[in-house]
Amino acid sequence: MKSVGMAALFKQEKVEDFYDIGEELGSGQFAIVKRCREVSTGLEFAAKFIKKRQNRASRRGVRREEIEREVNILEQTQHANIVTLHDVYENRTDVVLILELVSGGELFDFLAQKESLSEGEATQFIRQILEGVHYLHSKKIAHFDLKPENIMLLDKNVPLPRIKLIDFGLAHKIEAGAEFKNIFGTPEFVAPEIVNYEPLGLEADMWSIGVITYILLSGASPFLGETKQDTLANISAMNYEFDEEFFCSTSELAKNFIRQLLERDKTKRLTIQDALNHLWIQSNEHKEETPANAAPDQIKEPKKRERRQLKTKRLKEYTMKSHSSMPPNNTYVNVERFAQVVEDLSHMEASFSGLASAHDSLQEDIDGLVSVYNDKESWYKEESEGVRHELSQIRYEFRKVEAMKRGLQDEIKALEVSVSSVNNRYQERKRHFDTLRQELSGELKWVQDMVGSFGVTDGVRVGLGGYPNCAFSTVFNNDVNEALKEMLNRSCGDLLSGINLNLTEPGQQR
């Protein structure tokens, strides 16, 4: 085993110069796992080629900081139940993790092949899972993706195979005082705090262990719905039960263990130490419920055996539908199995023509996997819904400002039209006034000329009877002037009232 310091170094050398790369063991969305042999020692490992994201705008590949986080966590872990990191290489397009070769397959596949499964056997494997998680939690590391696909066996050809926890792509170090939120994981196994986008901690792993134990003992998934939305709604509503059909031979102690893990309030949920100390785990051995020497038991025994066989049969059906198509030892996050399953099926159809009669049932499995693929893809797309909502709000506010701006422009145009109308009317009245003034000036001149033709002498007008001391000219002129002023004022008043009337019209129209 190489030192932690060497594992932390991203070597820029060609991995092919130090390892003979063999057949592919599995593939994921952005990773391929291949068997490899170290040239210097002859030891076998698994080489995981992770495609790097070339730029921040791209969605293809994995960001460098995410790969570094996975490597950093793996180099901190040295435990019998956790996959070990051996070396790290890097080239222009990939980071290559040289990992411990875990070749025993998935735990659920192994157990599903057994004819029967007792709770004692189940607790032996659950305890190993707990011990691996206990080591992680002691270092404040949360796995965040515990599920059957990530629980492997180092070697299944031994009396008690060793559990290996794999896939640390979602794992995070939980920092004290730092709030951490995220939406990730597989919907079937995520805790309520992930669904509700609440602060996350080590407790989320304990919920996942509860779901795994439920499935292991029954072959049924507690929260799985027809759609991803149904599954998440079941988790939020704590919508699960111990169906008698699935748990008829399960002990109350085992159910109690599951109940205390599937606890909505994470402060009341079992911690990893509580789980290890639980009586169901501590007993680690459950005797057969029926004595072997009683005559009636020979009648009941087949029923009990049948129930146990049915339980493993349901577990096998579950793994076939949900997990068995996962390529072995694929430890990368966001694994999508559909492409690999399609390739495997094409080989099967080419090699085994006798399976043509089973084509319809196989097609149903493929359709189910396509649905799983689509659900997982939409799960991660939903993370951007919040951002899109905020952009929609900004666009709405922008449109409101634009509408107000257009309204103000319309009002300014209307005002300009009103002012122009008033100005035109004013000019018209002014021209009318000038015409009237000219007419009045002509009339005044005519009156003055007429008065001048009367010829007044010494204050007495000739031809009017000779009224002495009568300043007729002065009086007459005054009267005429007053009359002219009155006419002029009346005309000006008419003009001004017309102008005022026109000034109010735009306001009334508005």
**Residue pLDDT, tens place only, 34-60:** 999 999 999 999 999 999 988 877 778
* CA–CA gap between residue 47 and residue 471 (Å, rounded): 135
Q: What residues make up the domain containing 227?
A: 107-290+300-328
Q: Is the pLDDT of residue 249 over 90?
A: no
SS3 339: helix
SS3 151: strand
Q: Is the pLDDT of residue 344 over 50?
A: no
Q: Does residue 239 share a domain with residue 173?
A: yes
Selection from 273, 115, 137 nearest residue 202 by Cα: 137
Among 145-154, 163-172, 183-192, 294-303, the least confident range: 294-303
Q: Which residues contact 406 (CB under 8 A, 6 or more apart)?
A: none
In a domain? residue 437: yes
Q: Does residue 243 share a domain with residue 138?
A: yes
The DSSP secondary structure of 177-220, one letter per residue, reads: T-------S-GGG--HHHHTT----THHHHHHHHHHHHHHHHSS
Selection from 327, 498, 510 nearest residue 424 by Cα: 498
- Predicted local distance difference test score (pLDDT) of residue 322: 65
Q: Does residue 312 share a domain with residue 188?
A: yes
∠ CA 273-276-282, rounded to 5°: 145
In a domain? residue 406: no
Q: Is the pLDDT of residue 305 over 60?
A: no
Pure H helices in 240-278:
244-247, 252-261, 272-277
Q: Does residue 90 share a domain with residue 172?
A: no
Which pair of structure tokens corresponds to residue 266? 């994470």
pLDDT digits (tens, 9 = 90+) for 90-115: 999 999 999 999 988 889 888 888 87
Q: Does residue 195 share a domain with residue 119?
A: yes
Annotated binding site: 52
* CA–CA gap between residue 381 and residue 285 (Å, rounded): 45
The DSSP secondary structure of 368-431, one letter per residue, reads: HHHHHHHHHHHHHHGGGHHHHHHHHHHHHHHHHHHHHHHHHHHHHHHHHHHHHHHHHHHHHHHH
Q: Does residue 51 share a domain with residue 69?
A: yes
Catalytic pick among 145, 265, 297, 494 = 145
Look at residues 32, 66, 100 and tell me which one is the last residue of a structural domain.
100
Look at residues 82, 100, 118 and tell me which one is the last residue of a structural domain.
100
Q: Is the pLDDT of residue 21 over 80?
A: yes
CA distances from 4 to 74, 75, 77, 174, 450 (A): 9, 6, 9, 21, 130
In a domain? residue 75: yes
pLDDT digits (tens, 9 = 90+) for 52-81: 988 877 778 888 899 999 999 999 999 999
How many separate domains does the chain show?
3
Q: Does residue 281 share a domain with residue 428?
A: no
Q: Does residue 251 share a domain with residue 132?
A: yes
Q: Does residue 52 share a domain with residue 136?
A: no
Look at residues 54, 72, 100 and tell me which one is the last residue of a structural domain.
100
Q: Does residue 322 share a domain with residue 179?
A: yes
Stretch 277-292: mean pLDDT = 64
Among 133-137, 152-156, 234-238, 358-362, the least confident range: 358-362
- Chain Cα centroid distance, residue 220: 28
Helix, strand, coil share (%) of the chain residues, nearest 5? 55, 10, 35
Selection from 33, 58, 60, 59 nearest residue 45 by Cα: 33
Q: Which residues contact 463 (CB under 8 A, 6 or more apart)?
A: none
Question: Is 205 known to be catalytic?
Answer: no
Work out the number of other CB atoms within 10 angstroms of the CB of residue 53. 17
Which CATH number do you get for residue 167? 1.10.510.10
* CA–CA gap between residue 249 and residue 125 (Å, rounded): 19
Q: Does residue 92 share a domain with residue 118?
A: no
% residues pLDDT > 90 (the chain): 39
Pure H helices in 293-358:
297-322, 338-351
Annotated binding site for ATP: 52
pLDDT digits (tens, 9 = 90+) for 429-469: 889 988 888 888 888 888 888 877 766 444 444 444 444 45
Among 187-201, 383-397, 418-432, 487-501, the least confident range: 487-501
Q: Is the pLDDT of residue 473 over 60?
A: no
- pTM of the model as a whole: 0.59
- For the CA atoms of the chain, what is the radius of gyration? 47
- Predicted local distance difference test score (pLDDT) of residue 18: 96
Q: Does residue 435 share a domain with residue 286?
A: no
